[in-house]
Amino acid sequence: MRLWPFAMGLAIALFPFDWLAETWPAFGALFDRVFVTARDHAVGHTTLFCLLGLLTLLSLPALAARPIVYVALLVPAALAQEALQALFKRQAPGLGDGRDLLYDLLGWCIALGALWLVRQIGLQRAARR
């Protein structure tokens, strides 16, 4: 079991990018160009948590057979990420934060589905040999 991919993904997911955008103007300009619309924000959340999901499955491959445990492990990470965002913005969590949690869940499901698909393709190739 190698936990460094999970730890790395968790560190990236929990990093306060909004704070960095305010502190570092060059990053803020890029951040504001990438995350212009609500759709961009949704895609960003889904992508970030898909990456975290993949890194989690690389670190703890047995979780692929236990999707409830997999999600239960990642929910605190998503809640912590939303709490840290609110803390750094000095705002209370809102309705948008709940919506973000759904995008996080979508990212985890995509990661789990992608891993399942890759394994199925590998099994099919092995069966042909």
Q: What is the pLDDT of residue 63?
A: 95
Of 95 and 19, which is predicted with more confidence? 19
Residue 96, pLDDT score: 66
pTM, to two decimals: 0.87
Q: Residues 38-96: pLDDT tens digits?
A: 899 899 999 999 999 999 999 999 999 999 999 999 999 999 998 888 888 888 877 66
By the 8 A CB rule, do 82 and 97 touch? Answer: yes
CB atoms within 10 A of CB 76: 10
Domain ranges of the chain: 4-128
